[in-house]
């Protein structure tokens, strides 16, 4: 299955006349269609809600699009809470799932009425001291440990993860929270990342539903919601079969009716916290080839770098690359596609077979809509790019301007040590 950009070469050539490369481009039509499909897939659950993982794409324009479909905001830091609150997400619209959380962040989350999802049993006393009480609605993050498998395939290793409480701690936490006034409980878990299989969510649901039944019986707690969190992935490579969200929703429904309904728990709401699935395929990094180098290998140098997309450098992650206008040409040249950082891992592709690339060619790096711009940084004094939205009517809107040197030096505004810089 060939990967095709959601924008044509002709349209990109028009866009770059106004907005210089590199930039992240998002597909509004795709985002909206995907949000509708997700909502429909879980429409069987009366209380269902998607809490979009703000960390994946922390842009207010994107959040407002998702808000149109009833999405809440999953936040993990003060600034994400502030952004969500400013956009009108409030109270139960916000899920605060953090770890090693500073007291002031718990205080702010409580102030705006967000649902707090505790990562550790020791955080109960810490939270109580920070805000002066235990909220009536609260959630706990679960980590069963061990290896998480689907059939014979190892999907991830929760036992090595820093997140969540053990099984024994969950029971103790619920008892402590209940004795401190908590009335409505949530259970949350994230056991595998970027799964491209329809089996993950139903298997995770089974683990959490069975735990919920035991917690209710042994602690008397009212389980209000079960949060399946993220983990539904996307096909980064051509030929990978994408997840079928309708089948995933149906699989969770079957387990729900098998385990929860017979126990009188048919009122439990299902929540999700998807980031990659919601936005990943609907963003691309647009960059231009500016150099070529012929040494021990063949290199194409582009005007983007790991500052704009960190995943390949950090994880060795694969992102497909389309050379715009050469989609039908034979991939006859082997290239390393590289950025300009003083780091040898600043490579978008290694030994990648592509059509012959000439200076000036536009490259579209796929699937950067989640954890793309968001993971950027300023190493080497590089500046983060603009974010653009390709709207449903074909027009383009800038939804974040590119950084400037003035932004980079802004944190020295308390002194005049750099007063002679000319912008």
Q: Is there a single domain that holds both residue 267 and residue 363?
A: no
Q: Specify the CATH number for the domain of residue 326.
A: 2.40.37.10
Tell me the residue length of the chain.
Answer: 423
300/24 Cα distance (integer angstroms): 20
CB 281 within 8 A of CB 367: yes
Q: Which residues are catalytic?
A: 342
Would 3 be classed as within a structural domain?
no
Q: Is there a single domain that holds both residue 90 and residue 210?
A: yes
Q: What tokens does 310 get?
A: 């960190």
Q: Is there a single domain that holds both residue 222 and residue 81?
A: yes
Q: What per-residue confidence (pLDDT) applies to 360?
A: 98
> End of a domain among 280, 304, 327?
280
> End of a domain among 280, 299, 314?
280
Return the DSSP state at 297: S
**Tens-digit pLDDT profile for residues 6-53:** 999 999 999 999 999 999 999 999 999 999 999 999 999 999 999 999
Query: pTM for the whole thing?
Result: 0.95
Q: What per-residue confidence (pLDDT) applies to 191?
A: 85
Domain count, the chain: 2
> End of a domain among 280, 302, 323?
280
Q: What per-residue confidence (pLDDT) applies to 145?
A: 84
**Tens-digit pLDDT profile for residues 241-288:** 999 999 999 999 999 999 999 999 999 999 999 999 999 999 999 999
Q: Is there a single domain that holds both residue 132 and residue 57?
A: yes
Q: Is there a single domain that holds both residue 290 and residue 209?
A: no
Q: Is there a single domain that holds both residue 249 and residue 172?
A: yes
Average pLDDT of span 64-82: 98
**Tens-digit pLDDT profile for residues 206-217:** 999 999 999 999
Q: Is there a single domain that holds both residue 94 and residue 63?
A: yes
141/211 Cα distance (integer angstroms): 12
Q: Is there a single domain that holds both residue 45 and residue 171?
A: yes
Q: Is there a single domain that holds both residue 309 and residue 268?
A: no
Q: Is there a single domain that holds both residue 35 and residue 176?
A: yes
Q: Is there a single domain that holds both residue 99 and residue 89?
A: yes
Would 20 be classed as within a structural domain?
no
Would 297 be classed as within a structural domain?
yes
Residue bearing tokens 């709207």:
391
Q: Residue 87: give the domain boundaries.
A: 28-280
Q: What per-residue confidence (pLDDT) applies to 147?
A: 73
Q: Is there a single domain that holds both residue 119 and residue 226?
A: yes
Angle CA 29–355–18, to nearest 5: 45
Strand, coil or helix: what is 322? Answer: strand
Residue bearing tokens 């707690």:
221
Average pLDDT of span 290-299: 97
Q: Specify the CATH number for the domain of residue 261.
A: 3.20.20.10
Average pLDDT of span 312-316: 94
**Tens-digit pLDDT profile for residues 122-180:** 999 999 999 999 999 999 999 998 776 666 565 557 767 889 999 999 999 999 999 99
Closest by CA to 123, choosing from 114, 134, 112, is 134
Q: What per-residue confidence (pLDDT) applies to 115?
A: 98
CB 233 within 8 A of CB 277: yes
Would 192 be classed as within a structural domain?
yes
Closest by CA to 378, choosing from 400, 403, 359, 399, is 403
């Amino acid at each position: 299955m060939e990967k095709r950009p959601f924008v044509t070469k002709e349209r990109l050539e028009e866009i770059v006349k106004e907005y210089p490369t590199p930039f992240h481009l998002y597909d509004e039509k795709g985002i909206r269609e995907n949000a509708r499909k997700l909502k429909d897939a879980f429409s069987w659950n009366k209380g269902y809600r998607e809490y979009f993982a703000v960390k994946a794409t922390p842009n207010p324009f994107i959040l407002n699009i998702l808000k149109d479909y009833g999405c809440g905001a999953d936040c993990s830091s003060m600034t994400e809470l502030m952004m969500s609150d400013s956009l009108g997400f409030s109270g139960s619209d916000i899920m605060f799932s953090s770890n090693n959380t500073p007291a002031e962040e718990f205080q702010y989350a409580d102030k705006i009425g967000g649902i707090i999802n505790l990562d550790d049993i020791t955080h109960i006393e810490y939270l109580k001291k920070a805000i002066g009480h235990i909220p009536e609605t609260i959630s706990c993050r679960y980590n069963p440990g061990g290896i998480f498998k689907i059939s014979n395939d190892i999907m991830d290793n929760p036992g090595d993860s820093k997140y969540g409480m053990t099984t024994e701690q969950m029971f103790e936490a619920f008892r402590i929270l209940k004795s401190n006034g908590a009335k409505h409980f949530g259970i949350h878990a994230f056991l595998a990342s970027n799964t491209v299989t329809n089996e993950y969510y139903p298997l995770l649901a089974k683990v959490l539903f069975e735990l919920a039944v035991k917690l209710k019986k042994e602690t008397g707690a009212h389980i209000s919601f079960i949060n399946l969190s993220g983990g539904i992935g996307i096909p980064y490579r051509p030929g990978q079969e994408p997840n079928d969200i309708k089948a995933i929703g149906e699989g969770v429904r079957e387990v729900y009716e098998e385990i929860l309904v017979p126990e009188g728990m048919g009122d439990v709401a299902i929540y999700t916290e998807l980031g990659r699935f919601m936005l990943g395929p609907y963003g691309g990094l647009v960059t231009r080839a500016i150099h070529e180098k012929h040494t021990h290998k063949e290199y194409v140098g582009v005007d983007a770098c790991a500052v704009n997309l960190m995943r390949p450098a950090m994880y060795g992650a694969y992102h497909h690359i389309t050379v715009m206008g050469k989609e039908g040409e034979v991939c006859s040249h082997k290239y390393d596609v590289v950025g300009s950082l003083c780091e040898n891992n600043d490579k978008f592709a290694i030994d990648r077979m592509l059509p012959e690339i000439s200076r000036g060619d536009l490259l579209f790096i796929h699937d950067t809509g989640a954890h793309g711009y968001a993971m950027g940084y300023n190493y080497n004094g590089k500046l983060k790019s603009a974010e653009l939205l390709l709207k449903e009517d074909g027009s383009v809107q800038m939804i974040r301007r590119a950084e400037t040197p003035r932004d980079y030096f802004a944190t020295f505004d308390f002194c005049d040590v750099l007063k002679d810089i000319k912008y």
